[in-house]
A and B are shown apart, each in its own frame.
Chain A
Amino acid sequence: MADYEIPTVTGEDGIVDVPSLEKGSMGHLHGPWISKPDFQKELGFPTDFEMPAGVENYGDSNTLVENWKERALDKMDDLRHRYRSLQVFLDICVKCGACTDKCHYYIGTKDPKNMPVARQDLLRKVYRRYFTFAGKFFGKIGHPEFVGATELTEDVVKDWYNYYHQCSQCRRCSVFCPYGIDTAEISMAAREILDHIGMGQKYCTEIMGKVHKIGNNLGLPEAALADTLEGLEEDIYDDTGVLVELPLDKKGSDILLITPSADFFAEPHVDGLMGYAKVFHELGLDFTLSSYASEGANFGMFIGSYENMRRLALRIRKAAIDLGVKRIVFGECGHAWRVAYSFLNTLAGPWDFLDQNYPIPQHVLEITEPALAAGKLNIDKSANDDMVVTFHDSCNIARGSRIGSYEGGQFEVPRNVIKAVCNNYVDMPKDTIHDATFCCGGGGGILTDDLMEVRVKGAQPRMEALKHVTEHHGVTHMAAICAICKSQFTKVIPYYGFTMDQIVSVHQLVSSAIILTGQLSEDEIDDMEFDYDEAKERLIASREVVAEESK
């Protein structure tokens, strides 16, 4: 399956033992594919560099921008004056080592440079050499290493490119750091610096370019999107006999639904999307998707670029204004939700034109959970009796945002929903859930095939926990509320002996258990008078009649 060793999982206690160091175990990698000048230009980054001939040339000075060293240091100086997190975190780490065994990439790869503090030090060493008294002094007398400082060389840049793309910005280290130092902030800064010296990451920059041109990460144009949504309506109709609509660009709707574009076709994401639609339908909520803002994920965060993150977020603002909606609701997506919950008000606010009686933005679970609790949805839990479900807390939701109105709601709300629609639920071991959750291994811009080894190894801690509950508690399925987690797991869990279909969306479970008003039995569906196209035509015609009459 691969030319590297796949970690083995035992299932014993669900926790991977902290490994001994294996220096350079991931040093053979060269980081992800480099972003070409075209992609860089679209995002406002310098383009005066040559594409390297091959990965082994990444970081060579002849492929970097002119004066790369000076420009890298200038960018570092700029960033530390704009981000308090960066300035403080670079200064105050005492190298206590509390974080050293907390990163899933360290646990899975044993490479010491994947320990959070060591990863930070790749940048901190350079900061200390050029921007601190101690580093300058000991640098001048030829011993910068005495104070943990180092000259900025090509090898250092190569390490940046390699190891800052072995960080999924999951923030697990920041939970355990006595000062809350968040490696994600350092990784983001490092990627921003790299973007300014001709070492962008193709996966992220190409995708952002697609959003600017087409509206979503997948490059799914409006017509194809409309087709896809119609196909989903047809699936639901054929399954239930009920016409549940998934409208696109419907002006005057109450709710703008923003969801990761993976929801439009990937499995199991799409089952989640049908779940949201069913919930909205049952609650009589009038919603629409937007073709202009058909993407929930915001890859600007991954590359640490405030400007690009804002540019993407402003699409949502424009869509909300153009469609005249009153509320914005986000689907299941971890990073999208962090940007939405924590940053959207900053980036694209103020949202004074929306209905202030609802949270802005709102998570779809914040609609489903109270509706289930109030008994507003007709649920048949036995529909999910073929599963014993566990829940994977997605890192950006667990540690970077909140769902619900109280502290820690992000842990309870999704579990409440699962328990309301499933009879069998089991949690994974305590040290692997809630804010101690392990990243899926594909977050933060790592979900690309050119980083497959990093992804497979980084998934080990979660796989170990899953193995434990499958063997000891009969768990059959793992539910997630993040498009990246779902994509990463479906791709990676076969390496660990599981099967792709063991990953489910939370709203997929809702979708299976919900009984729609007027839902038909299987026999009744076979005898339906109208097929989907006819039913849809009749619905549209009936609406036109109502509209005429009201005139």
Chain B
Amino acid sequence: MFLSVFFGVLFWVATLVLVLGIAYKVFIYWKVPAPLKIPTTPAPLTKRGVWVRMFKEVTLFYSLFRSNKLLWVLGILFHYALALIILRHVRYFQENVWLVIDIVQPFGKYAGFLMVIALIGLLLRRILIDRVRYITAPSDRAMLGLLILIGISGLTMKFVSHTDILMVKTFFIGLRTFSFHPLPADPFLIVHLTLVATLMLIFPISKLMHAPGIFFSPTRNQVDNPREKRHLSRWAKKLETQDKLYLHELDK
């Protein structure tokens, strides 16, 4: 029972931190003005074009493809495998599992291996390539280590030492109504869940914010139309309306 209350509270906290933390960060990105038009050109001339550009970046990692083929392969492999794995895990939160989640199951199962392989590749890059080693902080390696351990503990439960997943499912569905059902006292499960909760907790305060952040990147999300449409930020407008040259001259 201790286990289930502990993890119950932990996952509630982690979920709140994840959701509210990201929401807060996104709110800041949205609120801070972009005073100048700085798309990296050539850039789309229309809003629709910007959507296409962003779609290419988010789904195909287009800029990365131009930049570094090895990293692109590892990055695509990791992110798509992770996406499949997350979709596969949705079934633990649904009483009636959606069809698409059902379809994903066998793919998600083996995606775990691809994810771990890709992550090990990413970690090796950080160790073996001198330029990447130089820019790597301990936390960068720790984050890859965290993901690798999540993957390995998950794969172990699937392929080596089965855990009672029905019990796990009952536990998580119960959490929605604050009822704490028991969890299997399986060491792999405990490791797995602890690390996942950790990942959720650090998401909003770490570089993992690149996921929502890219949508706010002015070099990628701006339309190339500065001659046609005047772009003026709130703070810059004050200089005009008060006819001042410097911000420190503005009336408070």
> Complex formed: what's the CA distance from A134 to B201 in Å?
11
Contact A402-B224, Cβ < 8 Å, known A21-B134, A176-B67, A179-B217: yes
Q: Which residue of B lies closest to A92 (CB)?
A: B213
- Whether B245 and A307, one on each chain, are in contact in the complex, defined by CB atoms closer than 8 angstroms, is yes
B35 an interface residue at 8 Å Cβ cutoff? yes
Q: Do residues B220 and A179 form an inter-chain contact, with CB atoms below 8 A?
A: yes
Interface contact B45-A407, CB-CB below 8 Å: yes
Question: Considering the complex, which residues of chain A in the window 48-103 have a beta carbon less than 8 Å from any beta carbon of chain B?
Answer: 80-85, 87-89, 91-102
In the assembled complex, B252 has its CB within 8 A of some CB on chain A:
no
Q: What's the nearest-Cβ distance from chain B to residue A413, in Å?
A: 12
Segment of A115-123, A156-164, A223-231, A496-504 in the binding face: A115-123
Are the C-beta atoms of A91 and B125 separated by less than 8 Å?
A: no
B227→A345 contact, CB < 8 A: yes
Partner of B235, one of A82, A97, A148, A344: A82
Q: Tell me which of B45, B75, B131 contacts A101 (CB under 8 A).
A: B131
Which of chain B's residues 67-99 have a Cβ closer than 8 Å to chain A? Answer: 67-68, 71, 75
B contact residues around A436 at 8 Å (CB): 66
Q: Which chain B residues lie closer than 8 Å to A359 at the CB level?
A: 227
Q: Per-position contact with B for A342-377: 1 when CB-CB < 8 Å, else 0? A: 111110011000000001110000000000000000
Q: Is B247 an interface residue (CB 8 A)?
A: yes
Quick check: is B1 within 8 A (CB to CB) of the other chain?
A: no
In the assembled complex, the Cα of A328 lies from the Cα of B112 at a distance in Å of 60
Q: Is the CB of A342 within 8 A of B37?
A: yes
Contact indicator A174/B219 (Cβ below 8 Å): yes
CB neighbours (8 Å) of B33 from chain A are: 82-84
Q: How large is the interface on B (under 10, 10 to 19, 20 to 34, 35 or more residues)?
A: 35 or more
B57–A178 CB distance below 8 A? yes
With beta carbons under 8 angstroms apart, the residue of B43, B63, B134, B239 that contacts A178 is B63
Decide: B32 and A83 in contact? CB cutoff 8 A: yes
User: How far is A94 from B210 in the complex, measured between Cα atoms in Å?
Assistant: 7
Q: Which of A31-39, A263-271, A382-390, A393-401 contacts B (4 or more CB under 8 A)?
A: A393-401
Q: CA of A134 to CA of B131 in the docked complex: distance in angstroms?
A: 24
Contact B42 A92 (CB under 8 A): no
Contact A178 B245 (CB under 8 A): no
Which of the 9-residue segments B2-10, B135-143, B146-154, B174-182 touches chain A? B135-143
A85 CB contacts on chain B under 8 angstroms: 34, 38, 217-219
Within A15-41, the residues touching B (CB, 8 Å) are 18, 20-21
Are the C-beta atoms of B57 and A349 separated by less than 8 Å? no
Expressed in whole angstroms, the Cα–Cα distance for A529 and B230 within the complex equals: 53
Complex contacts, A82 vs chain B, CB 8 Å: 32-33, 35, 233, 235
Find out whether the CB atom of B231 lies under 8 angstroms from the CB atom of A402: no
Is B41's CB under 8 angstroms from A410's CB? yes
User: When the two chains form their complex, are residues B131 and A100 in contact, meaning their CB atoms are under 8 A apart?
Assistant: yes
Q: Does A408 contact B (CB under 8 A)?
A: yes
Q: Determine whether A177 belongs to the interface, using a CB cutoff of 8 Å to chain B.
A: yes
In the assembled complex, B48 has its CB within 8 A of some CB on chain A:
no
B166 CB–A CB distance under 8 Å = no
State whether the Cβ of A139 lies closer than 8 Å to any Cβ in chain B.
Answer: no
Say if the beta carbon of A145 comes within 8 Å of chain B.
yes
Q: Is residue B159 within 8 Å, beta carbon to beta carbon, of the partner chain?
A: no
Known: A88-B213, A134-B206, A180-B217. A145 touches B137 (CB 8 A): yes
B117 to chain A, nearest CB (A): 18
Is there contact, CB below 8 Å, between A410 and B245?
A: no
How many residues belonging to A are interface residues under a CB distance threshold of 8 Å? Answer: 75
When the two chains form their complex, are residues B71 and A96 in contact, meaning their CB atoms are under 8 A apart? yes
**Bound complex: CA of A146 vs CA of B137, how far in Å?**
6
The answer on a CB contact under 8 Å between B75 and A181 is no
B106 at the A/B interface (Cβ < 8 Å)? no
B248 surroundings in chain A (CB, below 8 A) = 44
Residues of chain A with a CB closer than 8 A to B61's CB: 178
Q: Tell whether B165 is near chain A: CB-to-CB under 8 Å.
A: no
Known interface pairs A182-B38, A182-B40, A343-B226; A115-B134 also in contact (CB < 8 Å)? yes
State A5–B75 Cα separation when bound (angstroms): 38
> B25 interface residue, CB < 8 Å from A?
yes
- B25-37 toward A: CB 8 Å interface, digit per residue (1/0)? 1001100111111
- A91–B239 contact, CB under 8 A? no
Q: Which residues of B contact A145 (CB under 8 A)?
A: 137-138
Among B41, B202, B205, contact of A399 (Cβ-Cβ < 8 Å): B41
Q: Does B130 contact A (CB under 8 A)?
A: yes
Least Cβ–Cβ distance between B33 and chain A, in angstroms? 6
Task: Decide: B239 and A95 in contact? CB cutoff 8 A.
Answer: no
Q: How far is the CA of A178 from the CA of B213 in the complex (A)?
A: 11
A133 at the interface (CB under 8 A from B): yes
Q: Are A115 and B131 touching (Cβ within 8 A)?
A: yes
A182–B246 contact, CB under 8 A? no
How far apart are the CA atoms of A398 and B43 in the complex, in Å?
11
> At the interface, yes or no: B64 with Cβ under 8 Å from chain A?
yes
What's the least CB distance linking B86 to chain A, in Å?
Answer: 18
Interface assignment of B216: CB less than 8 Å from any CB of chain A: yes
Contact in complex: A84, B32 (CB < 8 Å): yes
Residues of B contacting A102 with CB < 8 Å?
A: 67
B162 within 8 A of A: no
In the complex, the answer to whether B37 meets A343 with C-beta atoms within 8 Å is yes
- Report if A95-B137 is in contact (Cβ < 8 Å); known contacts: A345-B231, A361-B227: yes
Answer whether residue A306 sits at the interface, using C-beta atoms and an 8 A cutoff: yes
User: Please, what's the 1-or-0 string for A178-207, where 1 marks a CB less than 8 Å from any CB in chain B?
Assistant: 111110010000000000000000000000
Distance (whole angstroms) from the CB of A478 to the closest CB of chain B = 22
State in angstroms the CA–CA spacing of A30 and B226 once bound together: 38
Q: How far is the CB of B218 from chain A (nearest CB, A)?
A: 5
A180 engages B247 (CB within 8 Å) = no
The answer to whether A310 has its CB under 8 Å from any CB of chain B is: yes
- Whether B41 and A147, one on each chain, are in contact in the complex, defined by CB atoms closer than 8 angstroms, is no
Bound together, the chains give a CA A342 to CA B202 distance in angstroms of 38
Contact B25 A91 (CB under 8 A): yes
In angstroms, how far is the closest chain B Cβ from the Cβ of A347?
8
Least distance between B156 CB and chain A CB atoms (Å):
27
**B210 pairs with A92, CB closer than 8 A:** yes
Interface pair A178/B35, CB less than 8 Å apart? no
Q: Provide the bound-state CA to CA distance between A18 and B30, in Å.
A: 38
- List the A side residues contacting B35 at CB < 8 Å: 82-83, 306, 346
Binding site for B on A (CB under 8 A): 18, 20-21, 44, 80-85, 87-89, 91-102, 112, 115, 117-118, 121, 132-134, 145-148, 171, 174-182, 185, 306-307, 310-311, 341-346, 349-350, 359-361, 398-402, 406-408, 410-411, 435-436
Top 7 nearest A-B pairs by Cβ distance?
A148-B137, A92-B213, A180-B219, A176-B67, A97-B132, A100-B131, A180-B220
10 inter-chain pairs at a CB distance below 8 angstroms, sorted by A residue, are: A83-B35, A85-B219, A87-B32, A94-B210, A96-B64, A147-B139, A178-B63, A402-B43, A407-B43, A408-B42
Knowing that A95-B137, A100-B132 touch, tell me 13 more A-B residue pairs with CB under 8 angstroms.
A84-B29, A85-B38, A92-B210, A96-B75, A97-B129, A97-B132, A98-B68, A146-B142, A174-B219, A346-B226, A346-B231, A400-B41, A435-B40
